[in-house]
Amino acid sequence: MDLDQEPRDAEGRNDHIRQRIRARLGHEHHALISARLVVGVVIILVGTILLADNLGWFDARYVLRSLWPLALVAVGVTMVRSPDHRRSRSWGWVLITVGTWIFLDRIGWIHVSLWHLLLPGLLLFVGGSLVWRAINGPPQAKPISGAGDHQEFVRSFALMSGCELRPVSRPFRGADLTAVMGGIKLDLADTRMEGDSATVEVFAFWGGIEIYVPPDWTVTSKVTTLLGGFVDKRRPTSVVPTKTLVVQGMVVMGGIEVKN
Nearest by Cα to 177 from 141, 211, 144: 211
Q: Does residue 253 form part of some domain?
A: yes
Q: Does residue 146 form part of some domain?
A: no
Give pLDDT tens digits for 224-238.
887 788 888 888 878
Q: Does residue 44 form part of some domain?
A: yes
Nearest by Cα to 236 from 211, 259, 210, 212: 259
- The residue among 111 and 186 whose pLDDT is bigger is 186
Whether the Cβ atoms of residue 200 and residue 226 lie closer than 8 Å to each other: no
Do 162 and 75 reside in the same domain of the chain? no
- What is the domain extent for residue 84? 5-112
Q: Does residue 125 form part of some domain?
A: no
Do 160 and 101 reside in the same domain of the chain? no
Nearest by Cα to 260 from 201, 211, 200, 208: 211
Q: Does residue 129 form part of some domain?
A: no
Q: What is the pLDDT of residue 225?
A: 82
Give pLDDT tens digits for 160-195.
888 888 887 788 888 889 888 889 999 988 888 878
Q: Is the pLDDT of residue 14 over 80?
A: no
Q: Does residue 53 form part of some domain?
A: yes
Domain count for the chain:
2
pLDDT band, residue 19 (cuts 50/70/90): low
* Radius of gyration for the chain, computed over Cα atoms and rounded to the nearest angstrom: 25
Please tell me the pTM assigned to this model: 0.58
Q: Does residue 123 form part of some domain?
A: no
Do 106 and 9 reside in the same domain of the chain? yes
Q: Does residue 128 form part of some domain?
A: no
